Chains A and B, each alone.
Chain A
Amino acid sequence: MTAALALPIAAIPARAVAAEANEIGFTVLGYKEKGLMKVTEPVLWGRGTFHEVWEVEASAAVDIISGASPQLVTNVSGRPVNSITAASITDRRNTGDAKLTRRFGDFAVSVSRTISDENDYKSHAFGLGAEWSLNQKNTTLAAGYGKSNDRVGSRDDPALHERRDTKEYLFGITQVLSPVAIVQSTVTRSAGRGWYNDPYKLTFTFFDQGIPLLLPDTRPDHRDTLAWLTRYRRHFPSAHGTLQLDYRYFRDDWGIRAHTLEAAWEQTLNERWSVRPALRYYTQGAADFYTPVAPSSPPAILSSDQRLGAWGGLSPSIRVTRRFERGISIEGTLGYVHDARDLRFGGSGSEAFETLRAVYGIVGVRYPF
Chain B
Amino acid sequence: MKRWLAALLAASLGACTTVAPYQRGYLARDDMAFEPSPGTVRALEKTYSAKEAASGGASVGGGGCGCN
Which A residues are within 8 Å of any B CB, using their own CB? 1-19, 25-27, 29, 31, 39, 41, 43-45, 47, 57, 59, 61, 63, 69, 89, 91, 93, 95, 97, 112-116, 118-121, 123-129, 135-138, 144-148, 150, 152, 164, 166, 168-170, 173, 175-180, 182-186, 188, 190, 198, 200, 225, 227-231, 233, 235, 237, 242, 244, 247-250, 252, 254, 256, 258, 260, 266, 268, 274, 276, 280, 282, 284, 287, 307-308, 313, 315, 319, 321, 331, 333, 335, 337, 339, 356, 360, 362, 364, 366
Contact (Cβ within 8 A) B60 A168: yes
The answer for the CA separation of A331 and B47 in the assembled complex, in Å, is 17
Q: Could you tell me if A15 and B28 are in contact, using CB atoms closer than 8 angstroms?
A: yes
Contact B53 A287 (CB under 8 A): yes
Contacting residues of chain B (31-61) with chain A, CB-CB under 8 angstroms: 31-61
Cβ contacts A to B, 29 pairs, < 8 Å: A2-B65, A2-B66, A2-B67, A4-B56, A5-B62, A5-B63, A7-B62, A10-B58, A17-B28, A29-B46, A69-B68, A125-B63, A127-B62, A145-B60, A146-B60, A175-B16, A176-B24, A183-B12, A188-B57, A242-B29, A247-B5, A250-B53, A258-B53, A280-B48, A282-B52, A284-B52, A287-B53, A331-B37, A362-B39
- In the complex, the chain A residue whose C-beta lies closest to that of B8 is A230
Shortest Cβ gap from B41 to chain A (Å): 6
Per a CB cutoff under 8 Å, which of A2, A18, A29, A364 touches B64?
A2
For the complex, count residues of B whose C-beta is within 8 A of A: 59
Which residue of B has the minimal Cβ distance to A145?
A: B60
Interface of B is mostly: loop
B62 contacts A6, C-beta separation under 8 Å: yes
Which residue on chain A has the smallest CB distance to residue B44? Answer: A362
| Pair A229/B32 contact, Cβ less than 8 Å | no
| Chain B interface (Cβ < 8 Å from any Cβ of A) | 1-2, 5, 9, 12-13, 15-21, 23-68
Q: Report the bound CA distance from A13 to B51 in whole Å.
A: 27
A59 adjacent to B68 (CB under 8 Å):
no
* Complex Cα–Cα for A316 and B52 (A): 17
Return B1 CB to nearest CB of chain A, in Å.
7
Contacts of B27 in A (CB 8 A): 15-17, 176, 179-180, 182
